[in-house]
Amino acid sequence: MLMSAKEKGTRFERQLKKMLEERGFFVVRASGSGSDGVSPDLVALSSTRHLAVECKAWNGDAVYIEKAKFGIMQEWEKRTAIPVFVAWKSPRRDWRFFPLVALKETGRAFGINKADLETGMELNDVVGGSRKSVEPTGKHVP
């Protein structure tokens, strides 16, 4: 039986939630975040790091976020001072993370194309499991 896009998205959100929890984060999954449009899919908190994630599991050439949703995420990031990342799970590949500033305006949306996939950060880069860390602006810091 084929899984609906919503079921597939939920499965991958839960997968990423578990991965973050295994790294010591308390993670809240925003049920219905795709339909209400006012919050990221996941909010992950630890004693030293906070981040929010909009999850995209997609096999296409690009992932897009509608301008209205993108604006809401920018405002969410500004009000909370918690960086928001778009996490893209492409088949047979690890999650890649992109700060909002990495998305490119395409007219009706903001997006990342498959050519940019390798430039995305790995999970350890985002959560501080490696020497790299990220400021809310998306800049890498040592």
What burial class does residue 126 get, using C-beta atoms within 10 Å of its C-beta: 0-12 exposed, 13-18 middle, 19+ buried?
A: buried
Structure tokens at 3: 């899984």
Type of residue found at 16: L
Which are the catalytic amino acids?
33
Measured at the alpha carbon of residue 117, what is the angle toward residues 6 and 133, in degrees to the nearest 5? 100
Q: Which residue has the tokens 């001072």?
A: 81
